[in-house]
Amino acid sequence: MKKKRIGCLPVLMIFSLIVIIAIGFIYYKDGKTYSDLETEVTYQKKEKKKSKGDDGYRVNWKKLKNKDVVGWIRFKHPKIISYPIMQKDDNDFYLHKDIKKEYSFAGSIFMDYHNHKNFLDSNTLIYGHNMANESMFGSLKKYNEKSYWKKNKYFYIYTRDGKRRKYKIYNACIVRPGSEIYTYRFASNENMDKYIKYYKSIGEYSTGLTPSVKDKLVTLSTCALQGSRRFVVQGYLVETITLD
C-alpha cells in the first residue's frame, strides 16, 4: 500500500502543476487583453493648459470599436483599476466575456442593464469580479480598511460625451446578493434618504460623509470573501468637467 501511495504522488504533483500553469495562463491572457487595451486607447495630455482639476488623462473613444463601451472607470490609486465599462441588455453577457466578446474567466467591468448610459440615474450599478491577482474589482476589498479609504477617497468615470465625473467614496459594506442596495431608481426622495442612511449604518466603518437625495450615486459591486456575499463600495458625484 505504501508503494502505491508513493507512486501516486508524482501524478498528483504533475496534475497540480498543470492546474497552476493553466490558471496562471488564464490570468496572464486576461490581464494582457486589458493592459494592451489601456496602452492603445488611453493617453496623457501633454499640453500645460488644462482645466482646473484636470490631470490630463484621456480616453481615445474612436479606438474603442465595441459600441457596448459606455464609459471608462479609473482609480488613481490603486492604478490597477482602469477599465472600460460595458453594458448589454442583460447582466450575464459580460460576466465571462472581454471587450472583444471572447470568453474570459475574469470577464469585464459592466453596468447594470437597467441603468441609463448617461450615469444620471439616482444609483448607477457597476459590477466586476474579485480576482485573486487584484485585476478587475479585485482590489476593491482594500476598502474594508478605513486607513486605506482615507488615502484613496475618489474614483473617476470618463464618458463618450467628453466628460469626466469625479466620485467621492462615502460607504463600503458587505451585503447579500439581491439586496436592496442594488436599487437603481427610487420611488421618492424619502425612500432614497432611508436607503442612504441604512446602508451607511451597516458600513464597515464611518466615513462621516452622507450624500443628499439630489446626489448621483455609483455603487461598485464585487464578490466578498464571506461565502456568496458581495462587497460594495459606494460613491457620490462631486464634480463633472468637460475635457477638451
Percent share of the chain, pLDDT over 70: 84
Q: How do residues 60-87 score in pLDDT, each as one tens digit?
A: 999 999 999 999 999 987 667 999 999 9
Cell 499640453, residue located: 47
Q: How confident is the model over 140-159, as a mean pLDDT?
A: 97
Q: Where are the beta strands (DSSP E) in 10-108?
A: 42-44, 57-59, 69-74, 82-86
- Would residue 96 show up in a list of annotated catalytic residues for this protein? no
Considering 8, 96, 114, 223, which one is annotated as catalytic? Answer: 223
Q: How confident is the model at residue 48 (pLDDT cuts 50, 70, 90)?
A: low
CB of 217 closer than 8 Å to CB of 185: no
| Residue 208 backbone dihedrals phi, psi, to 5 degrees | 75, 10
Q: Report the predicted TM-score, pTM, of the whole model to 2 decimal places.
A: 0.87
In whole angstroms, give the CA distance from residue 10 to residue 12.
5
Residue 11, pLDDT score: 61
DSSP string, 12-23: HHHHHHHHHHHH
Alpha-carbon span 46 to 79, nearest angstrom: 20
Residue 25 pLDDT > 90: no
pLDDT over threshold 50, residue 124: yes
Q: Is the pLDDT of residue 19 over 50?
A: no
Can you read off the three cell numbers belonging to residue 121?
440615474
So what's the pLDDT on residue 1? 45
**36 pLDDT exceeds 50?**
yes
- Quick one: average pLDDT of 168-183? 97
Q: Decide: helix, strand or coil at residue 88.
A: coil
Q: Is 108 exposed, middle or buried (0-12, 13-18, 19+ CB in 10 A)?
A: buried
**Residue 34 confidence (pLDDT):** 85
CA angle 140, 144, 150 (to 5 degrees): 90
Answer yes or no: is pLDDT of 3 > 70: no
- Confidence at residue 29, expressed as pLDDT on a 0 to 100 scale: 53
Annotated catalytic residue within 8, 114, 116, 129: 129
- In whole angstroms, give the CA distance from residue 114 to residue 27: 30
Q: What is the pLDDT of residues 96-108, one digit of tens each?
A: 999 999 999 999 9
The answer, yes or no, to whether residue 21 has pLDDT greater than 60, is no
Q: Are 222 and 128 in contact (CB under 8 A)?
A: yes
Average pLDDT over residues 9-24: 55
Active site residue 116: no
Rounded to the nearest integer, the mean pLDDT of the chain is 89
Structural domains for the chain = 43-242 (2.40.260.10)
